[in-house]
Each structure stands twice: as structure tokens, then as C-alpha cells.
Amino acid sequence: MRLRVSGHDTGRDYDLSSVVGSRDDTAPPDIADGNLLRNFIEAVMDRDQSAIVRTRDALMTARGAAMMIDAAAVIAAFNAYPRVADATGIPLEDGKSVATASLRAELDLEAMK
């Protein structure tokens, strides 16, 4: 919801296909080393240890250790937020449910149940 709402506030339109597209998609050109970042994210989410090491090292070579650490922290944070909400039973408020209906459909979030 945040990206879509931010877009209303800033006048920008966000293309969510870059985050829900196939793994073979090319990262948007305005994201520096986007393919490296995407590969790192996929390796972490797949829990593929050899791919994590390979992509982590490639990311550090290309962008430095600080960038790799920032990327890992963002992956961890985005992984944790919904888990905390789910674990504590935080319901989606009615207003947010209505406001995010098309976004949730576009991301096919119901498939994750």
C-alpha cells in the first residue's frame, strides 16, 4: 500500500511489475545494480546458501560491504514486518482493506495463504 499511496502524494506512478515479474526479468535501468540486488533477494528468499554467498560476494564487489549490509537489512526487515503482524494477529483494518484491494489483487497476495 505504501508505494501506491506515496505515488498519490508525489504524483509518481510505480510499476509493481518490477517486483512481481518473473525472475528472468531485467531490473529497471534506474536501479543501480538492480539485477544483482534482485538475485540477492531471490537467493535469500529461496534459502539457497550457495546462491546467497555468490550474490552477496558479487554485490560487495560491485557496491561495497555497506551496500550489501543495507540490502540484507532491508530484506530482513521486510521479511519480519508481516510475520510480526501475522504472529500477533493484527487484522487488516476495513479502510485499509478497501484501499488496498486492487494492490493486493495485483500482487496476488491471496495465493500466500
pLDDT tens column, 21-60: 555 556 556 777 888 898 999 899 889 999 999 999 999 9
CB neighbours of residue 88 within 10 Å? 7
Per-residue pLDDT, 63: 93
**Residue scoring higher pLDDT (19 or 35):** 35
Per-residue pLDDT, 8: 58
71: left (phi over 0), alpha (psi -120 to 50) or beta: alpha
Per-residue pLDDT, 60: 94
pLDDT digits (tens, 9 = 90+) for 76-100: 888 777 777 767 777 777 777 888 8
What is the band of 17 on the pLDDT scale with cuts at 50, 70, 90?
low
